[in-house]
Amino acid sequence: MAFPAIKPDVAIIHALRADLEGNAQIGLNKAIDEELSVAAETVIITAEEIVPRLDKADIVAPFVQAVVHAPHGAAPTSCHPFYPIDGEIYWLMSNKSVIQPHLRHSLLVFPISDIPLSDIL
């Protein structure tokens, strides 16, 4: 059975390094980043390092609309080989008594829907 293709409005993809033209190196942990860069209407690359020029790119400039220097930008997830997953953050996020007050504050300050908070939390 075939499924309809998704067409994301925006893809934000974190890279090991990128140049100012929009070329980016993802490394060996690609997941679906290359496919997202082709499918999305707008692609924003965040990168650990900005370099003057890349000799090899996993994502190429014609698909990219913006490049942002974002050291440690994949945290708390990993950016191999620069840093691993932050397991402590994931533990805290999975602890309802720790994360619930933060979610309530975030949803109150930055409402994203008309759904009552009691239905979400």
What confidence tens digit (pLDDT) does each residue in 20-36 have? 999 999 988 788 889 99
Question: Mapping DSSP to helix (H, G, I), strand (E, B) and coil, where does residue 5 land?
Answer: coil
Q: How far is CA 5 from CA 36, 37, 40, 100, in A?
A: 11, 14, 11, 35
Split at pLDDT 50, 70, 90, the class of 119 is low
Domain ranges of the chain: 1-85, 87-121
Q: Where are the alpha helices (DSSP H) in the chain?
A: 33-39, 87-94, 96-109, 117-120
Q: What digits encode the pLDDT tens for the residues 77-115?
A: 788 888 888 777 767 667 777 767 766 655 554 444 555
Q: What is the pLDDT of residue 99?
A: 67
Per-residue confidence (pLDDT) for residue 115, from 0 to 100: 55
What is the reported pLDDT for 77?
79
Q: What is the CATH number of domain 1-85?
A: 3.40.1080.10
**Percent of the residues in the chain that have a pLDDT greater than 90, as a whole number:** 47
Of 35, 31, 40, 38, nearest in space to 7 by CA: 40
Contact criterion met (CB below 8 Å) for 16 and 33:
no
Mean pLDDT, the chain, whole residue set: 82
Which band of pLDDT confidence, cut at 50, 70 and 90, is reported for residue 68? very high
- What is the percent of the chain where pLDDT is above 70? 78
The pTM of the whole model exceeds 0.75 = no
